[in-house]
Amino acid sequence: MVIPVTGYRSIAEALQDAIATGVYRPGQRIPSYTQLCATYGVGLTTVQRAIMVLRERGLVVGVPGRGVYVAEPRPRRRSSRSTG
């Protein structure tokens, strides 16, 4: 099934939504670039740009030779303010 999109930003948003809703969980591999190209009906460069956006947002990490995985959530920083 091909999901029509209008560019790499649309793909990045769709994948971000899938991560946020638990379709892809932390530590889970997302579909390969080839699979994403087929799913969204776009070329490799478009998928690469979408994944780059997700990397910049800290949502995914690439493992050379293994694929792209959903990043583990970052711990929230504690405030240095004292409540007192």
State which residues form the domain around 18: 8-70
**Does residue 14 belong to any structural domain of this protein?**
yes
Tens digit of each residue's pLDDT (9 = 90 or more) over 16-75:
999 999 999 999 999 999 999 999 999 999 999 999 999 999 999 999 999 999 999 877
pTM: 0.81
**Does residue 78 belong to any structural domain of this protein?**
no
Count how many domains the chain has.
1
Q: Which amino acid is at 45?
A: T
H/E stretch holding 12: helix 8-20
The CATH code of the domain that includes 30 is 1.10.10.10
Q: Among 36, 54, 55, which residue's Cα sits nearest to residue 46?
A: 36
**Does residue 3 belong to any structural domain of this protein?**
no
Q: How far is CA 84 from CA 32, 40, 78, 79, 81, in A?
A: 51, 53, 16, 13, 9
